[in-house]
Amino acid sequence: MNFFTRFSLRNAVAVFIISFLLILGGLYSFQKLKLDLLPNIEFPQLTVEIVYPGASPNDLDDKVTSDLEEKFKGVEGVKQVSSSTYETISVINLEFPFNTDMDEVESKVDSLISDSDLPDEVTTDISRTSFGALPIFNISLFAKDNADLQSLLEDDVIPELKKIEGINSVSVGGLKEELLQITIDKDKAAENGLSLTDIKDQINEKDLSFPAGNLDWDNIQVPVRVQEKVDTIKQLKEIVLTSKVNPQAPPTSLGDIAKIEEVTDRPEITRYNMEDSFSMAITKKQDANTVEVADQVLEVMKEYKDDFSYAIGFDSADGIKKSVETLVKEGLLGAVFASLAVLLFLRNIRATIIAIISIPLSLLVSSIFLAQLDISLNIMTLGGMAVAVGRVVDDSIVVIENIFRRVRKSGREINDEIIEDSTKEILKAITSSTLTTVVVFLPLGFVGGVTGEFFLPFALTIVFSLLTSLLVAITIVPILSKFSFKKVPPEEKEGRLQRWYAQAIEWSLNHKIVIIALSLVTLLGSFALAGRLGFTFIPNEEQKQLVASVQLPSSTSLERTNDVSMKLEEFFDGEKEIKEVTAGIGSRDFQTGLKRKNQANYFLTLDEETNVNAYLEDLQKNMEDIVYKDEPDAKLGVQEQQTGGPPSNNNVDIDLFSNNLDSLQTAAKEVEAYMKDQDQLKYVNNNFSEKQKQIIIDIDPEKAAKAGVSGFQVLGTVTDQTEPVSVGTLPLDGKDRKVQVSYEDQTSSKEELEDITIFTAKGPVPLTDIAKIDEVEGYTSIQKLEGKIYARVSAQISSDDIRAVSQETVDGVKKLDLPDDVSFEGGGGSDETVQTFQDLGLAMLIAIGLVYITMLITFGKARIPFIILSSLIFVPIGSLLGLSVANEPLSVSVMIGLLMLIGIVTTNAIVLVDRIGQNRDQKGMTIRASLIEGGKTRLRPILMTAFATITALLPLAFTTSSGTLISKGLAITVIGGLTSSTLLTLILLPVLYEVFFYKTVKKEMKKQA
């Protein structure tokens, strides 16, 4: 490594040019880094969405879902298979370990679906989940000057947005659908033996175009095509219809038995602050730059400012910008504080500038590596830079301090020889200390799941910065020292602090038992603080954006849901805490992605001054008072919007299992009621659906066979009577039109169903002659976990001690009087948190082992690494005290901070032990003399590096801004641990050194005696 210093001193101009090029490359790379809130992590999950039009939950589960679940269980590596089956649609979720080849898994799942004997009407869709594919915008749009906003959106705006490279999808809620409605006179259709399905088929038969061979025409093959087209509404009316089941019925034209008109349908209603609007949701591609995409979207919006206005209900890019600005500000403040700390000790502006030159250079060079690895600029990489600010100056500080000290001591002018010797003297110490800090991050690979993936960019940022800082310290710092220290003040006399420290070492060495005992008592006392700290995954960060939903009974119409929603929106409008409300009635469910006419969803933006936790309880109660007054069977909920970050794991889940759905429902309600009574639980959710009134038409096979009626005939006839039949899209009068057929009066009661007549070749057959019609209560969905029907009652934990609350909840459920045929399992985020903490604990042990090996290679003596590692024992003292004072719980960020401390704390010990070794090996000093001289010599660089690191982290530790909680707990941990370990290292390490070399010390003392 000394080669780099010699090369730099002899080729200073070349080194400066290389440095300048690296700075330019770093600035260019930093500018090109994708800006995002979170690392772009793809979750190892697949979602298979199955659509079987018209199928009931039971039929869909029996014929499709169960079959596919069994096949998916055989996919290699699958951890969990769960499903939710509703009418017409089923969703199967497959979960895999991280590092699974998801392309291969998706291909395997697709093959299994293709090989399955599914009904012809079934369609499937496979999708994945990632941080990067979440929506970035929810925009409400309003027309200006009576403009046709829908046409403008469909024809111009949406196509323009889709041209943006990073856009994945653009969906608009609240659009109106223009339909050509064919309303059939039921009596006239019956007279002519026609059903809606017959009419639909005969209309589609008129849209005919098929090849019919070729003609030889003048030695040329001329293709022949037979076609029949209906091009106008007039021609549509003139279509002649004939009965297929009753040949005696006279043919009739469609116009004679139907009214044909254009109608407007609005399948969902969207509003912004009670004003009708279109609601646009935009998602980006997984690897796209969120801020860049968002800026381009707004540019497109501005192009149409004369045609429409818009309001942004949700903007993830804005949150990203605020988080980035906060972390950049904290990082810059940290750099300033670190610089002031160096200036305080060196009291030389030139030396300070040289020492801190590694901050911008290290961070910019690390940006080059991040860009090459396609890692985005997010809260983890920026957090890594903010944390690294204090540490990257350490090597430069030690080098500059040693050069400065040696020049003053020599009394000569600075020259290459002094610089090279000074750097060489400290080279082993700074190299080993930097490498030990780097190797502690290697075991993060042993931390499984999203935690390891999430913190990897953080670790890489610090590693790149530290390795660059080492290179800067042994190349650029010596060059700058050469030109800056032409004149230095003479060596000062030994300072008061050094004299006091020398006396403290000597006293400690004479009272080893007292020092060791006091240290151990302090350590044990600090562990008492750990019991008072909470235990969580990542501390909850208060969100000023809420999501709410109201679900009415499943048979509720869109109009009724809208009426209830208006009352809620009027209430929201009168709340001073609520700034903006985006409402969607009949829009997609947040959890299932299904469109429900009986459900309304809301995005609520709160005032920045609102105390969210205090307000949420009152808000939910007021919502319940409004909704339950009109709809006592409704279900509603309101909670903070999830940021899409790493899972907070602050949830507790109670999974109930039983094949008896009635018992399962009873148990789920009991558990839900119990959990709602617990003060430390919030957002209680029961996924088990309520019963819904259903009509079952049970066909008698023998009677149906005698009457010549098939089950599909019954299905078709009943469907015709209860809902419109889609004909498809027809090109009429030069315009593509969606066409649907329905009766003038749809069947709406059991009595009307009983009056239905089925037309057959043998004549009309009353439905009641071949089938029994019963009214029953049935479930609207079926939830399964690992093939077993279950209900999940879940809640978020509002306490910082998630493990204790989870256990209390499970114990409380055990005491409930649940039905005998219901079993349950309790768990949730605390299980994953415990596993993660165990993984991180293992990572720390491995890191300590790697640090030992690194130091063993560096120092070549087995005992020296043990002495250095002893400084780690007292890290918990300061860390736990700091967390206790700051009221921060034990969390993953705290554990990462402790992992970092393994590398940082050993730095000071290495610097001290390296000097002691030089005194013994090169100067022949006794161990005690080496300890005292080494302590006095290395006191200032040790205090400087520790103080610089601590002061650089202070802005992060004291921040109250959002988006930095991951860094906050880490910063407090490092500050506290580094403070206590530095103070104890300076006193305890010399004591332990003599203990480890007890025999040698004894011999030296005998000689002196």
Instruction: Round to whole Å and give the CA distance between 77 and 345.
Output: 57
* Percent share of the chain, pLDDT over 70: 92
Provide mean pLDDT across the span 102-127: 88
pLDDT at 342 over 70: yes
Give me the pLDDT at residue 134, please.
62
Tell me the CA distances in angstroms from 763 to 200, 718, 859, one per residue in order.
Answer: 22, 17, 102
Structure tokens at 659: 């094949």
pLDDT surpassing 90 at residue 413: no
Tens digit of each residue's pLDDT (9 = 90 or more) over 547-569: 888 888 777 888 899 999 999 99
- How many percent of the chain have pLDDT more than 90? 9
pLDDT at 644 over 60: no
Q: Which one, of 458, 398, 476, lies nearest residue 434 by Cα?
A: 398
| 271: confidence class by pLDDT, cuts 50, 70, 90 | very high
Task: Write the single-letter amino acid at 301.
Answer: M
Give the three-class secondary structure for 714.
helix
pLDDT band of 960, cuts 50, 70, 90: low
Pairing of strands 771-779, 757-760: unpaired
143-186: per-residue pLDDT in tens? 888 788 888 998 899 999 988 988 888 888 888 878 888 888 88
Confidence of residue 804 (pLDDT cuts 50, 70, 90): confident
Between CA 903 and CA 435 the distance in angstroms is 8
CA 824/CA 817 separation, integer angstroms: 12
The predicted structure's pLDDT at residue 895: 82
DSSP 210-266: EEEEEEEETTEEEEEEEEE---SHHHHHT-EE--SS-TTSPPEEHHHHEEEEEEEE-
Task: Return the half-sphere exposure (C-beta side, CA atoms, 13 A cut-off) of residue 103.
Answer: 0
Instruction: Convert the pLDDT of each residue in 583-600 to its tens digit.
Output: 999 876 544 556 678 889
Average pLDDT over residues 116-120: 85
Candidate from 88-92, 340-344, 877-881 with smallest mean pLDDT: 340-344
Of 22-26, 530-534, 583-587, 708-712, which range is least confident?
Answer: 530-534
The greatest distance separating any two alpha carbons of the chain, rounded to the nearest whole angstrom, comes to 133
Considering 130-134, 552-556, 911-915, the range whose residues carry the highest mean pLDDT is 911-915
Average pLDDT over every residue of 688-712:
80
Query: For residues 122 and 971, what is the distance between their CA atoms, to the nearest angstrom?
Result: 54
The CA distance from 308 to 156, in Å, is 13
Distances from the Cα of 436 to the Cα of 322, 466, 577, 733, 803, angstroms? 34, 11, 51, 77, 33
Record the tokens describing residue 926, joined without a space. 């006794």
Q: What is the pLDDT of residues 987-1004, one digit of tens each?
A: 888 998 888 888 888 888
**pLDDT at res. 411:** 67
Q: How confident is the model at residue 855 (pLDDT cuts 50, 70, 90)?
A: confident
The tens digit of pLDDT for each residue in 605-624 reads 888 888 887 788 788 889 98
Instruction: Report the DSSP beta bridge partners of residue 984.
Output: none
CB count in 10 Å sphere of residue 2: 13
Write the DSSP symbol of residue 445: G
Q: What is the helix (H) or strand (E) element at residue 138, kind and residue range?
A: strand 135-143
What is the pLDDT, as a whole number, of residue 594? 62
> Looking at residue 566, what is its pLDDT?
93
Is the predicted pLDDT of residue 650 greater than 90, yes or no? Answer: no
Q: Please give the pLDDT value at position 552.
A: 86
For the ranges 185-194, 472-481, 611-620, 690-699, the one whose mean pLDDT is highest: 472-481
> What pLDDT score does 429 carry?
83
Q: How high does pLDDT run on average in the chain?
A: 83
Q: Are strands 735-743 and 177-184 parallel, antiparallel or unpaired?
A: parallel
Give the pLDDT band of residue 290 (cuts 50, 70, 90): confident
Among 760, 768, 758, residue whose Cα is nearest residue 695: 768
Tell me the C-alpha distance between 173 and 585, whole Å: 9
The Cα 183–Cα 190 span in angstroms is 14
Are the beta carbons of 360 and 415 closer than 8 angstroms? no
pLDDT tens digits along 420-436: 888 888 888 888 888 88
Contact criterion met (CB below 8 Å) for 318 and 947: no
Task: Indicate the pLDDT class of residue 962, thresholds 50, 70 and 90.
Answer: low
Q: Tokens 């605020």 correspond to what residue? A: 322
The 8-class DSSP code of residue 995 comes to H
Mean pLDDT of 22-37: 87
What pLDDT is attached to residue 567?
A: 92
The amino acid that residue 807 corresponds to is Q
Cα distance between residue 560 and residue 583, in whole Å? 15
564-576: string of b/e by CB count within 10 Å (b at 16+)? bbbebbebbeebe
Residue of higher predicted confidence among 261 and 264: 261
